[in-house]
A and B are shown apart, each in its own frame.
Chain A
Amino acid sequence: MGTRFEVAIPRSGPPRGGAQEKATLTREEANLLACAEAALDEITFYHRSFNLFRRDSFLSFVNASAADRPVRVDPELFALLETCREIFDRSGGAFDITVGPLMECWGFRDGDGAIPDADALGATRASIGFDHVILDKKNSTVSFDRAGVGLDLGGVAKGFALDQAAEILRDECIPAAIIHGGTSTVVAFGAPPESASWKVGIADPAREGALLAAAYLSESALSVSAQHGRCFEADGALKGHLIDPSSGAPAEGALLAAVIAKQAVLADAWSTALVAAGPGRFQELVAGNDAIDAAILFHGPKGAECLDKAGVDEELFESLTDEN
């Protein structure tokens, strides 16, 4: 697993001093550890299920089979696919879980990308588009209307897994916790001691070591999608791994999008969509969007930095840059 997931649960009582490793855990502490493990196990379950790098993942099975015959999926995965369809429609196709083959074509599956062969790109684009995916609710199946289609849940899987993990903690009556998946997705409920909410910093992609903004979370999730993680330079421009499905090429204009939403799966999907759609559609996609509580979009490169803010509650983001 490339991403490091962490669960933090505030513990009641004074901190324990001395060597902790050999100390006997109290019943409460043992139970808290069990809760955290259960949450992480839940994330591992979904990671294994959706991981396209594993030949034996359920999603790999779907991709290998769905062009030949409808593949039955469980109600939970079916509901996730329906959510992806809704966001595909609402974003005008900017969020599209069928872009996986395009990412592979651009070399982002196994590396930091490169300009693809034009013919290969053209052939791949023919299989892109959620319209090629047929969801049969009655039978709980998914199928593809042609070969070459592949589902890639990379834009929602982390958020979805974090939501399930948070539910586990809530079911166990944990009053506050924050769970994060690397530097991209966080879900939080309750608050740390003596605070009203969890404060999470968002790294500035243009200034190493600096923060672009801070997000305030309570009963909500934050997702950050950024181009600079896996990217290469060509023709003086940064080409990142987030693809614009409409052009079949790395999305241009936005370096980073951060979204706060009630559910991590929605934050995850919409942050991806906002980068893919670009700065020109930011206001259109966020205004009146019930799924998004607040969003920011950071334009680059140097010389054109701009931080847009929008959403129901823009105060959830605190800008930390001099320019804004």
Chain B
Amino acid sequence: MKDMDRRDFLKMSTGAATAFVLSVEGAGLFAQFADDVSPVNAAVIGAGRQGRVIMGELNKFPFVTVKAVCDTSEGRLRGAKRRAKGVATYPDFKQMLDTEKEIDAVFVCTPSHLHTDIAVACLAAGKHVYCEAPMATTIDDCRTIAAAAKKASTVFHVGLQYRSNPIYKLAREFMLAGSIRDTVCVRGQFHEKTSWRMPATDPAKDRALNWKLFPDVSIGLLGEEGTHQFDIMGWFLNKLPVSVSGSGSIRLHNDGREMPDTCHCNMIWPGGLNMNYTATLANSHFGRFEEFVGTMGAIRLVGDFGWLFKEADAPTQGWEVYAVRQNLHKDQGITLIADATKLAKQGKLKEGVGLPHPAMYYGLQDFLLSVTGGKPSACPAPLGLRASVIGIKAHEAAMSGKEIVFEKEWFEI
């Protein structure tokens, strides 16, 4: 589903303009900030891919000004100047904190194993902190961050962005309302054909940029990507997993790396519920998705799209007659549309397919709502700890080939 062509997608959809679908009030599709919202001065630590995306989305919040960017790479700092007007650049985040006293919020987008010191220092400096997920790469580091966040009076938000995604929130409501009835199994995948390697000719630069390939610091595909998706599963199921087993191998990128480019894991959830997950850098087929399969239907989620596939013997709700649908193979899915009721009344239901903003936007929006409006963090540190532990242990299971049973204490601060 990666980069689905929207023209083809819309051509495949049918359905009248008037319809309504379960919609979540406060789904955050068009959250309003107060007219007199206080300005937020921001700093971004880590100007790589994620930092760049975040800076782009922050442009959409007029009350936010990115004042400073930190990165150890001069090239990335030069690039950062193209992302935010008049931004000050620093090679060292401590120097930035000492110099830029007016910073209110910090976005931590460095390699995952470097989050801890930075997040803790920023919290100690009285800053609101948005920290990318996985929160850290060891359970101890996750606990260190969580303890610092608990002590701080500022907002701490982990970048588990799908918890803020209106489509995912809507889908979860469908699931909680029993639309798929009893869960039969859960599936997920992350497929993207790419080497995960950044250009680097000297060893120091190689280690700094290609940290994901170094087993001593990286938690691999299952940690870096799986963390987000396992968190979605735990959120929807409202449970913690029981055990995980897995494997990993190199299927394509035979370039001297040790880190597998393809991993599988099997996670058991309470009640014997089985989750199968594959992550590979060797193939892009169907990209990234999560799927909850139940006795009366299935829900598939693909970033900014979601569908409900109903079983033939599932009861039909009146509104379904007018639902927007799409065919996938031989199944027809009801397209999940955030704010559908409102859009249907305006006769714009089909225009509501997808989301008006990338998934990242909604996570930032929730963070900023907490920073400016005092709302509790939508993704506080305990959630970050929980999600990261699952990813860390899934990676460990795949690398060791041994089944790991989750210990309750791992999830405690």
CB pair B358 A75 closer than 8 Å: no
Q: How distant is the Cα of A263 from the Cα of B106 in the complex, in angstroms? A: 36
Q: How distant is the Cα of A21 from the Cα of B5 in the complex, in angstroms? A: 30
Q: How distant is the Cα of A227 from the Cα of B347 in the complex, in angstroms? A: 36
Q: How many interface residues does A have (CB within 8 Å)?
A: 41
Specify which of B62, B85, B195, B356 is in contact with A61 (CB 8 Å cutoff).
B356
Contacts of A41 in B (CB 8 A): 49, 194
Kindly provide the distance from the CB of B317 to the nearest chain A CB, expressed in whole angstroms: 26
CB pair A53 B5 closer than 8 Å: yes
Specify which of A1, A24, A74, A168 is in contact with B254 (CB 8 Å cutoff).
A24
CB pair A61 B256 closer than 8 Å: no
CB pair B255 A25 closer than 8 Å: yes
B254 nearest in chain A by CB position: A24
A237 contacts B by Cβ under 8 Å: no
A2 contacts B by Cβ under 8 Å: yes
Q: How many interface residues does B have (CB within 8 Å)?
A: 37
CB pair A172 B56 closer than 8 Å: no
Binary CB contact string for chain B from 25 to 59 against chain A (1 if under 8 A, 0 otherwise): 00000000000000000000000010010011001
CB pair B84 A75 closer than 8 Å: yes
CB pair B197 A72 closer than 8 Å: no
Known contacts A34-B198, A34-B200, A37-B197; decide if A25 and B254 are in contact (CB<8 Å). yes
Specify which of B55, B60, B197, B353 is in contact with A34 (CB 8 Å cutoff).
B197
Q: How distant is the Cα of A82 from the Cα of B12 in the complex, in angstroms? A: 38
Interface residues of A in 1-54 (CB under 8 A from B): 1-2, 21-25, 27, 29-31, 33-35, 37-38, 41, 45, 49, 53-54
Binary CB contact string for chain B from 369 to 396 against chain A (1 if under 8 A, 0 otherwise): 0000000000000000000000000000
Interface residues of A in 59-79 (CB under 8 A from B): 60-61, 64, 69, 71-76, 78
A76 nearest in chain B by CB position: B82
Known contacts A24-B255, A74-B82; decide if A55 and B354 are in contact (CB<8 Å). yes
Binary CB contact string for chain B from 324 to 356 against chain A (1 if under 8 A, 0 otherwise): 000000000000000000000000000001111
CB pair B59 A38 closer than 8 Å: no
CB pair A61 B81 closer than 8 Å: no
B357 contacts A by Cβ under 8 Å: yes
A58 contacts B by Cβ under 8 Å: yes
Specify which of B83, B195, B253, B304 is in contact with A74 (CB 8 Å cutoff).
B83
Contacts of A171 in B (CB 8 A): 75
Q: How distant is the Cα of A75 from the Cα of B357 in the complex, in angstroms? A: 20
B408 contacts A by Cβ under 8 Å: no
A141 nearest in chain B by CB position: B62
CB pair A74 B198 closer than 8 Å: no
CB pair A37 B256 closer than 8 Å: no
Contacts of B81 in A (CB 8 A): 75
Q: How distant is the Cα of A31 from the Cα of B210 in the complex, in angstroms? A: 11
B52 nearest in chain A by CB position: A45
A172 nearest in chain B by CB position: B199
A27 nearest in chain B by CB position: B256
Q: How distant is the Cα of A168 from the Cα of B52 in the complex, in angstroms? A: 15
Contacts of A140 in B (CB 8 A): 85
A53 nearest in chain B by CB position: B6
Known contacts A72-B59, A74-B82, A74-B84; decide if A37 and B255 are in contact (CB<8 Å). no
CB pair A110 B7 closer than 8 Å: yes
Q: How distant is the Cα of A172 from the Cα of B197 in the complex, in angstroms? A: 14
CB pair B5 A25 closer than 8 Å: no
A56 contacts B by Cβ under 8 Å: yes
Specify which of B49, B256, B355 is in contact with A24 (CB 8 Å cutoff).
B256
A69 nearest in chain B by CB position: B62
Contacts of A60 in B (CB 8 A): 356
Interface residues of B in 194-209 (CB under 8 A from A): 194-195, 197-201
B3 contacts A by Cβ under 8 Å: yes
Kindly provide the distance from the CB of B280 to the nearest chain A CB, expressed in whole angstroms: 15
Specify which of A22, A34, A49, A53 is in contact with B56 (CB 8 Å cutoff).
A49
Contacts of B83 in A (CB 8 A): 74-76
Q: How distant is the Cα of A110 from the Cα of B353 in the complex, in angstroms? A: 17
CB pair B195 A64 closer than 8 Å: no
Contacts of B55 in A (CB 8 A): 74
B198 nearest in chain A by CB position: A34
Kindly provide the distance from the CB of B231 to the nearest chain A CB, expressed in whole angstroms: 22
Contacts of B84 in A (CB 8 A): 74-75
A74 nearest in chain B by CB position: B83
Kindly provide the distance from the CB of B311 to the nearest chain A CB, expressed in whole angstroms: 30
CB pair A75 B356 closer than 8 Å: no
Q: How distant is the Cα of A31 from the Cα of B197 in the complex, in angstroms? A: 8
Contacts of A31 in B (CB 8 A): 197, 199-201
Interface residues of B in 255-292 (CB under 8 A from A): 255-256
Q: How distant is the Cα of A21 from the Cα of B60 in the complex, in angstroms? A: 44
Q: How distant is the Cα of A21 from the Cα of B251 in the complex, in angstroms? A: 10
Q: Which of B52, B85, B356 has the most CB of A within 10 A?
A: B85
Q: Apart from A33-B195, A37-B194, A73-B59, what are 11 other A-B pairs with CB-CB below 8 Å? A: A1-B5, A21-B252, A24-B254, A24-B255, A25-B255, A31-B197, A34-B200, A38-B198, A53-B6, A55-B356, A72-B59
Shortest 7 CB-CB distances between A and B: which pairs? Answer: A30-B255, A76-B82, A25-B255, A34-B197, A53-B6, A172-B199, A140-B85
Residues of B at under 8 Å CB distance from A? 3, 5-7, 49, 52, 55-56, 59-60, 62, 75, 81-85, 194-195, 197-201, 252-256, 304, 353-358, 361
